[in-house]
Structure 1
């Protein structure tokens, strides 16, 4: 019989289950700790999570254990921080669907059913990302002889609708006209530097150099210095000049305390600004925050290779996907005129 708990209410908890700092934890005999669920849930939820964790300790050759092993591997650590964050998000749904299964008993049919179900819930793009992550895990497992097959191979990805929205100059001016200072500065930096929103949010004043603004792309890990221009200098100093009493190491910061914005916090501000612009102009304003990087690449005056370098892409296909402005090309007639002149 185990010892009595200090907190009498915890005597009802399952064996080897304890209160952690933010979640109930099951500490297996092997020494491994499993986070079960949040502290504010009912006892029945705790028992259900406990039973699932207990089953994992009895069967070590499960997909759940395989995914956790991969996420703790050196191969996974070599991936970019953004990719690592995404995989930890994908893990939740993958373990929910496949976690209890033996790694050698997952079939292509199982993967296809998951793909279709996820597409109905979150769309084709998210379904494909989850399937790709699972395929990477099984490829790693094959390499280390932890499984005999990769059930994801042979399961085609779902068709994705490629975004083609180009933000016109009129739409951009309208959104800036109704933007709060934070959104104004953010969009200017994104459009001038062809940068993702999360990369702008993490920028600090220490990234200023004599030549320009230092940026390391989180997705590709490409390091760049964006040359100074009058608009860029104005944009990166915009909030600091507007709120001189607020001390912050960030370029984009919260005006009330100088803290860094989270992506979700900024996204909410952007949606509010876009809603105001829609009401004021009567236009659809059917673009997302990510479309501003596409506008930047589309508006960049240079060849596709020059656009690729400016965007920090590792291959030209990425750049072509962001090129959304109609490209002016020669016809049979004008090409002959060029040669004759």
Structure 2
């Protein structure tokens, strides 16, 4: 039923000129990019806007883009979320959040009279439970090493996430100048412009030194200021990384996402948190500990100390 309704939406006659959801979405992203460049307190985190732009251009605009903003109803949003439950439950929620942000912008610009996303419940999300063991990851790393080139590089990016617990966005744009004798410093990618900057100093370990040395040893056609540069010297964009990661994972786990060997790059951050908590060490990954515990702590056995 939901798919049929969405198909009908795409047959709706387009709204004229600027009176479309597509125009509103593009202008919303344009304004946010300007805020980011100006360090405006209204700016959202760069990683958030990158994700919003991907949602709006790839998923929202093909369905709702031709419509007038006031023609989109709560029923349409609810049907969109329902349609996505089977295969893209979480992604559909992200799309809804991006569209809601565009409507908030549209209200201020006189492009919309109301935000149809408000009051529509999100899809229920289940936290991932896949716990990657160190032995599993080492096996995967050997597989990637045998392939070499960009396949091995994306695996080493994943390895750096697993060793440091930092977000992939913070690792992908790490420059060589960030490497210092005491370690390397990364900026919290979730910091908003109205918040004080937050940096993490990642102390060196023997294994981390080894990983970074292997990254530097990968031959590239063009020299780069970036540590994890592509073979052409440019930093990886997240979409490019995901594409290469999935290609590598398909060669490692041919059965796809149903294969017991399959894991996501994001699961490696959970590996870090789970191992650190197991060793009774502070992972230092999130400002809100409850988020870290709910999403990333995947220990199957938790030690309990008796009172006496």
Query: What is the TM-score when the length of structure 1 is the normalising length?
Result: 0.67
Q: Pick one of 208, 213, 227 that aligns with 2:184.
A: 213
Label 1:152 to 1:246 Cα distance change in 2 as closer, same or farther (>3 A): closer
CA distance in 1: counterparts of 2:245 and 2:65, whole angstroms: 37
From 294, 297, 317, the equivalent of 2:270 is 294
- Show structure 2 runs of 5+ residues with no match: 1-12, 37-42, 146-151, 193-197
Question: Partners of 1:88 and 1:266 in 2: how far apart?
Answer: 17
The 1:162/1:64 distance shift into structure 2, 3 A limit, reads: same
Which of 163, 173, 194 is residue 192 of structure 1 equivalent to?
163
SS in 2 for 1:226: strand
Count of aligned residue pairs for this structure pair: 272
RMSD of Structure 2 on Structure 1 (CA): 3.4
Query: Given that residues 70 and 76 in structure 1 are in contact (C-alpha distance below 8 angstroms), is that contact kept between their aligned partners in structure 2?
Result: no
Q: Which residue of 2 aligns with 1:323?
A: 297
- Structure 1 spans left out of the alignment, 5+ residues: 1-50
Give secondary structure in 2 for the equivalent of 1:89. Answer: helix
| Secondary structure at the counterpart of residue 213 of structure 1 | strand
2:61 to 85, 95, 112: 95
Do residues 150 (structure 1) and 115 (structure 2) align? yes
Matched with 1:117 is: 83
1:23-80 Cα offsets, whole Å, 9 max, x none, are xxxxxxxxxxxxxxxxxxxxxxxxxxxx95xx532xx444334333433335964112
2:91 aligns to what?
Answer: 126
Q: Which has the higher contact order (CA 8 A, sep 6+)?
A: 2
Look at both structures and tell me which one has the larger radius of gyration over its CA atoms.
1
Could you tell me how far apart the structure 2 residues matched to 1:179 and 1:247 are? Answer: 23
Query: 1:49-68 residue pairs with structure 2 within 5 A?
Result: 55-57=15-17, 60-68=18-26
Q: 1:84 maps to what in 2?
A: 49
User: Contact conserved, 2:222 with 2:233, CA < 8 A, in 1?
Assistant: yes
Q: Does the 8 A contact of 2:154 with 2:244 survive in 1?
A: yes
Deviation at 1:244, TM superposition (A): 9.8
Q: Secondary structure at the match of 1:109?
A: helix
Contact 2:167 2:269 in 1 (8 A): yes
2:225 counterpart SS class:
coil
Q: Residue 232 of structure 1: which of 190, 208, 219 is its match?
A: 208
